[in-house]
Amino acid sequence: MEKKHLKLLLILLIVVLVAVDYPVLDKLFNRVLVDYEFGIIDRVIDGDTVVINGTSVRLLGINSPERGEQYYEESKNLLGNLTLNKLVKLQRGGEDTDKYNRLLRHVFINNENVNVKMVENGLANFYFPSGKNLYYSEFKKAWEKCIKEDENLCEKSKGGCAKCIVLKKFDYENEIIELYNMCEFDCELTDWEIKDEGRKKFIFPEFILKPSEEVDIIVGEGKSKGKNLFWTGENYVWTFSGDTLFLRDDDGKLILYKSY
């Protein structure tokens, strides 16, 4: 009896929506009830962007190297090998498009999440600027697997100071980072890079961190100066919805990472 009443209520709701405004109903079905589309990828822009029938699609949950950066070509080639000229399923996330009007989608081939595959192969890092979604744990596991396999973006630094520099403080609310040299010798950090999940980065100028000393990196345009104090010049870097700090040496190899 209850099921019958529920069906009648649903039919009545649909009738009301149609009577009031049919486009409302159409939008409801297209945006809520149907959360995926199909298409054939006819072009690969880079490691996180493809084109389907003239429409750009930005892969959700990842950020790949930009042109001119290490592993750019490898990332683009892998995505091409996985998807080019193939039928894929596109699944929406929270937002439909980004500020460049690209569709935001998870890309699946034979029920395998291609976005996750890019992270697993160390040719993209995970990236959730709008907050963690239902696939976040899969991306995190893919990254951890990549770290164990020590390849591409996950390759750990073999430099003499790789195990010396530790993250002593990561205050993302006030956007302050503090690194500490726990070794008994100098560590040159010139051209080392601090990066978030997205595109923002800070590259150390010529700088040596002495034994048992700390260095602070603060987001913003600061006036105060100190021997071991740097300002990034950015308006903001660390997102409140969650982010990751990646520290790499001057060869682009991973020193450490920290997510929150």
21-153 topology per CATH: OB fold (Dihydrolipoamide Acetyltransferase, E2P) (2.40.50)
What would the pLDDT profile of 153-204 be if each residue is shown by its tens digit?
999 999 999 999 999 999 999 999 999 999 999 999 999 999 999 999 999 9
Query: What residue has token string 């051209």?
Result: 191
Q: What average pLDDT does the chain have?
A: 90
Beta bridge mates, 230? 217
Strand partners of residue 247: 194, 256
Task: List Cβ neighbours of 92 (8 Å cut-off, separation of 6 or more).
Answer: 35, 36, 104, 105, 106
- What is the spatial distance between Cα 239 and Cα 166, in angstroms, rounded to a whole number? 22
Please tell me the pTM assigned to this model.
0.84
Q: What angle do CA 150, 64, 153 make, to 5 degrees?
A: 15
- Architecture of domain 157-259 in this structure: Sandwich (2.60)
Q: Which residues contact 254 (CB under 8 A, 6 or more apart)?
A: 147, 153, 154, 155, 156, 157, 246, 247, 248
pLDDT digits (tens, 9 = 90+) for 10-41: 566 555 544 544 444 344 444 444 578 999 99
φ, ψ at 164 (rounded to 5°): -90, -40
The domains of the chain are located at 21-153, 157-259
Tell me, rounded to whole angstroms, the distance of Cα 162 from its chain centroid. 24
